[in-house]
Structure 1
Amino acid sequence: MLAGRLRGALGDLAFEVDHVGSTSVPGLAAKDCIDVQVRMRSIDEARDVPLLAAIGFRCRPEPWNRSEVSGGRECRKLVFAPPVGTRSYNVHLREGTGPNARFALLFRDYLRADETARRAWGAFKQRLALSVPDLLDYGQIKAPATEVLMGAAERWAAETGWSAA
């Protein structure tokens, strides 16, 4: 349903809609907030914000919701909150061939495939959430641990021939 609404609003600008993040990994501890990645042909804030606003989505104003570093490259993105009164989720628009889109898919697929990594990552996140209630601090502490996790994910991808296709 959500994917259909997003595809309807964005048309052929979007070529894939993916469930990503912790809620996309069965058995992984996660906040009750779904992350959806829309792989776009390009990101254009002046074009994309009105298209999603027309169906009730609100562009998140924080600066970290406009770009992120992935694979050593700064990547454009836009993050949207859902219409008021609906279930909690974040919609991440990313350029479909960018390293940040690949990162989200590799994170998901690696943790789906490796039970030991999934259990360890879940335990880490739960301990961190209990001890660091501030969302900005939580993210800054989680970032270096995510790099370690993704190093293992990259090795797994190379060993298994994983692709973000």
Structure 2
Amino acid sequence: MTVVVIATHSPKWESEGKALAADLQAALGPTALRVEHIGSTSIPGMDAKPIFDLQVSVSDLDTAEQPLSAVLPELGFSDTTYFHDHVPAGYGDSPDAWRKRLWMRRDSVHPDVNLHIRQAGSPGERFALLFRDWFRAHPAAVPAYVEFKRSLAAIVADSATYTEVKNPVVDLVIVMAEEWARRTGWRP
């Protein structure tokens, strides 16, 4: 059982996330079309689990598996059995459209990282960037989301339950974010 710890936002997270993304981009070479810092640590003012979420966009998940499997363990990452993102309510996509690979790094030498490998142009790739960019464009929404996360972390016993309960709230945020994307012409 993994207890959820929400850390106070650190202004260093932005530069640390960019550095981690740049290092991974260099290590993965052309397999990684792009590497982005996503998730709560990428959002100014957002308290978060002290784990960096990075997204690696690849041209094809199956083709990328072999080169990623050759490089990522050397960088301290372990493969997981996590193969799909949560499909937000109302999206109606096949779960296959939300395929991904998740690698994790947890050691005492490097920052903790969740590495999300997604196919370029997939709904999951877009979702992660939209979530980040909507909060960046709406800093007034950050404190309410932080309060929700802190309250939830205080009452659930483990990370899996935390994520399961948080997903419908993220779905509500994405409803607003999708409207903002339509209105502003946002593109990933």
TM-score (ref. length: structure 1): 0.88
CA distance in 2, matches of 1:56, 1:48: 12
Pair 1:78-2:101 in alignment: yes
Counterpart residue type for residue 68 of structure 1: D
Displacement of 1:49 in angstroms is 2.1
Change over 3 Å in CA distance of 1:132–1:51 after alignment to 2: same
- Structure of greater relative contact order (alpha carbons < 8 Å, 6+ residues apart): 2
Displacement of 1:108 in angstroms is 0.3
Which residue does 1:50 correspond to in 2? 70
CA distance in 1, matches of 2:135, 2:163: 19
Pair 1:107-2:125 in alignment: no
CA contact (8 A) 2:118 2:124 kept: yes
Moved more, 136-145 or 9-18: 9-18
| SS of the residue 2:33 aligns to | strand
Displacement of 1:54 in angstroms is 3.0
Deviations 1:98-125 (A, max 9, x none): 0100000000000111123222211111
Which residue does 1:151 correspond to in 2? 175
Change over 3 Å in CA distance of 1:2–1:115 after alignment to 2: closer
CA distance in 2, matches of 1:73, 1:49: 26
Displacement of 1:27 in angstroms is 0.5
CA distance in 1, matches of 2:75, 2:139: 38
Which residue does 2:54 correspond to in 1? 36
Counterpart residue type for residue 11 of structure 1: G
Partner of residue 129 from structure 1, selected from 139, 150, 153:
153
Which residue does 1:21 correspond to in 2? 39
Displacement of 1:28 in angstroms is 1.0
Counterpart residue type for residue 83 of structure 2: R
What is the root-mean-square deviation in Å for CA atoms of aligned residues? 1.7
Which residue does 1:142 correspond to in 2? 166
Deviations 1:29-55 (A, max 9, x none): 111111011111111234422331233
Tell me the number of residue pairs that the alignment of Structure 1 and Structure 2 aligns: 161
| SS of the residue 1:147 aligns to | helix
| SS of the residue 2:157 aligns to | coil
Unaligned 5+ runs, structure 2? 1-18
Alignment identity in percent? 37
Deviations 1:119-165 (A, max 9, x none): 2211111111111131111111111111111001101111111111x
CA distance in 1, matches of 2:171, 2:116: 20
TM-score (ref. length: structure 2): 0.78
